[in-house]
Amino acid sequence: MRKNILVWGLLGVTLSANAQKKTYPPVPVDAELKKGKEQFMQGAPAPQNGRAPKRPNVILIVADDLGRYDVSVYGNTLIETPNIDRLAKEGALFTEGYATAAICSPSRAGLLTGRYQQRFGYHVQPHQRYPHNKAEWWFFKHLINTSYLEPADFGPFPSQKGVLDAGLPQSEIALSELMKKQGYATAWIGKWHLGYSEPMLPKNFGFDYRYGCLEAYTLFAEVKDPNVVNARINEFTDKVIWKGGRKEYCAIQENEKEIDEKEYLTYAFARRAKNFISEHKDEPFFIYLPVTAPHTPYQAPKDIYDKLGHIEEHNKRVYYAMVVALDLAVGDIMNHLKKEGLDENTMVIFTSDNGAALYSETVTNKPLAGGKMAFFEGGINVPLMIYYKGIIKPGTVLNTQVNLCDVFATVAAVSNASLPEDRIYDGVSLLPWLTGARNDAPHEALYWMADYNLAIRMGSLKLMINTLDRTVDLYNLSTDRGETTDLSKADSRTVAQLESKLKTWAAQMPPMRWPRIMDYTLRVNGKVYRWAI
């Protein structure tokens, strides 16, 4: 019986496949912004006003899927992360730091441009492959176990050229380009995940030195390395990752040349960063260090794993050993700065692209609800700390709401860079708050949008809307940090006010540059939510 159903199903979708080959309409790069960028980059850098010898170096460390409560300074009791904690204890700790997206690639696009990524149509992950026709889509939807991920409805999907065009558009000015214009030596060390082909590659965004992988993930070490402990997850994407290994976009490249990296990858990233520091210690430098830890695949140094015997569950133990390895890498870099006499003239920023990934069934964001891919606090409220000796008072704690667009504006300010006037910047320089000159709110509201999912936080109130499922949720985060009690029915007036502001903001944004391909389902408080991926 099942065989007959399969045969008739395949026959039906095959016959209809050719009749439904509409492609997703290509969204052109904004020609005016691209022209404006070219003119801006050709212009002279901002005058230094006598500050040139003291311009600080900047190291921007971005962890991958690191939850706020994975770090001990925020309250993790399973492990200690003293080196990451040190950045907060000797600098500033943010309690209300937000990513602009709940998933890797869009979040990085907002971080590196200082603009809500929706301003250039970057709502969801760029994908390397879409179903070519309805037959392929039917196979994908009905015959492949994608667990918590549900294939989106059929088409229209991008053409092959549209797939190649997915990524950070050339009309955008990356932070690395701004810093290079200011005379900084620049490096990208880590994962890219902002485009797989020309012209969206790191070499085209102002990086003098480039080391890492283009994909969202890669192996941390050889699978059979005796010094590494592996943990596999019974989950759809994890199987794809292990199978991918270090082939194609998962390969490790150095200045566009593929290399065979033998060192545990988190440590290799730190070593390359230290080398760049030493090579450029006599000039200002900017290092963008988007490490791959603790994103899957779960692989940890065995020596660390062996020390975490108090964590009984194997996968969780591997995960937290990866976090400890990341902490050691941060400490290694900080010690190297001191050795080179640069720790007093270097701003170090540490954050994560989004919250921890609940789909691994290994970690938790509690007491926050949800995780990666969702606009609940567990998906977007991320660790954020800034170290800048002599400028930021040690032990500074900032409770004001900020997002990662502010990192761009803050780094631009410390490098004395001017910004073009042909585009809207959403980030605000946090220097006045970091130095104690201001204590008001940098933003009236913070916004999120990914296809049919929208959210706004204004003060302590947060509204989430799903236009596909027509759901509305309202939470008061000052009294309900875990988002357990939906107030939307009890306070329709507040819902209307926030929804109006959210829709006004969303209406400013251009079309999505590419469509979603999956929907992520998540159960919170007994209710099932869908999120565009």
pLDDT in tens, 80-139: 999 999 999 999 999 999 999 999 999 999 999 999 999 999 999 998 889 888 999 998
User: Per-residue confidence at 21, pLDDT binned at 50, 70, 90?
Assistant: low
DSSP 24: P
Q: Provide the token pair at 47.
A: 């005058």
Phi/psi at 139 (nearest 5 deg)? -60, -50
The per-residue DSSP string of 408-438 comes to HHHHHHHTT----SSS-------HHHHTTS-
Block residue for tokens 């039906």: 12
b/e map 27-43, b = 16+ CB within 10 Å: bebbeebeebbeebeee
User: Per-residue confidence at 9, pLDDT binned at 50, 70, 90?
Assistant: very low
User: Per-residue confidence at 146, pLDDT binned at 50, 70, 90?
Assistant: confident
pLDDT in tens, 349-358: 999 999 999 9
Q: Which fold would CATH assign to domain 56-418+425-445?
A: Alkaline Phosphatase, subunit A (3.40.720)
Is the predicted pLDDT of residue 46 greater than 90, yes or no? no
d(CA 233, CA 238): 6
pLDDT in tens, 306-318: 999 999 999 999 9
For CA atoms 151, 155, 159, 162, the dihedral sign is negative
Per DSSP (E only), the strands in 336-418 are 346-352, 384-387, 396-398, 402-403
pTM: predicted TM-score of the whole model, two decimal places: 0.95
Average of per-residue pLDDT across 423-444: 97
Contact partners, residue 202, CB within 8 Å, separation at least 6: 188, 192, 210, 212
